[in-house]
Amino acid sequence: MSMDLTNIKDLEHYFAYHFDTFLFPMLAEQYLLREDLVRAKKVCKIGLEYHPDYIPGLFLQGRTLLAEKEFTKAEKVFKRIIKQDSGHLNAHCKLAEVQVELKRSETTLKRLYNRILEMDCTNEKAIKWLEDIGKKKEKAPTLKKTSKEKKQTPRDELASLPISSQLATFTLVAVLKSQKLYEQAIEVLSLMARKEDADKKRIKEEKEELLRILNSGEKL
C-alpha cells in the first residue's frame, strides 16, 4: 500500500476508493479538527455502514455529534460504546460532557463521575464536579476487564502503513489498540510525545496501559 498519511488529500483519495477501510476515523478526525462537521459526519456514516460496531468510528461519530450540539444523539452513541467496552474511559468522559448539557439528574451524573474516577483517580473534571456538589469521592473498586475485541480486524491493512508524526494522534492509537497492534501504538505515542503541545499525562497513561498488556503476554 502506498499512501502518505501526512497528506489529507491522500486519505480522501484512499477513502473514495475504499469505503470499507478501517482507517475512516482518521479522516473523520481531520475534518473534525478543521471544524468541517458535515464531512466528518458523512465519513463516519459511510464507515459505520460497513463496520457498525467499530468503536474508534463510533467514538468519532459521537465527538462530531457533540460538536454539532446534537446532545441526545451523542449520548446514545457514547452509551453504545460503553455497552461494548465498559472500560472505555474517553467515552465515559464524553458522556459526562453530554449529560451535563442535557441536565441529567444529580444521581445519574454522580454515578458516572464516580465510574470515571474508578478508571482515572486523578480526573480533574470528575473531582471538581463531585466537590462542587459537596460529595466525597467514593473509593474506586478494581477496574474490570474491557470487552472482547472484534473478531474481524483490519490488521493486514494497518500493518503495512507508515507511521507519520503529523498524523500521530490518539485516534490512530485507538485504531491500533482495537486490532491489538500494541507495539505500533506505542511507536505512535512516542512520536506524539515529541510534539510541543503533547498531552504528556495521557500519553504516559496510554503507554503504561499498552506495556501492561504486552507484559501480561496477551496474544495477538
Tens digit of each residue's pLDDT (9 = 90 or more) over 3-44? 665 568 888 988 999 999 998 999 999 999 999 999 999 999
Residues 119 and 15 in one domain: yes
Range of the domain at 165: 155-215
Residues 165 and 128 in one domain: no
* E runs forming strands in the chain: none
What are the backbone angles phi and psi of residue 22, rounded to the nearest 5°?
-85, 0
Residues 116 and 165 in one domain: no
113-144, pLDDT tens digit by residue? 999 999 988 899 988 998 887 644 444 455 55
Residues 35 and 112 in one domain: yes
Task: Determine, yes or no, domain membership for 124.
Answer: yes
Specify the number of domains making up the chain: 2
Residues 90 and 164 in one domain: no
Residues 204 and 163 in one domain: yes
Residue 58's CATH number: 1.25.40.10
Q: How far apart are CA 60 and CA 122, in angstroms?
A: 25
Residues 84 and 166 in one domain: no
The Cβ-side half-sphere exposure at 148, using a 13 Å CA radius, reads 3
Task: Determine, yes or no, domain membership for 143.
Answer: no
69-125, pLDDT tens digit by residue? 999 999 999 999 999 999 999 999 999 999 999 999 999 999 999 999 999 888 999
Task: Determine, yes or no, domain membership for 198.
Answer: yes
Is this structure's pTM higher than 0.85?
no
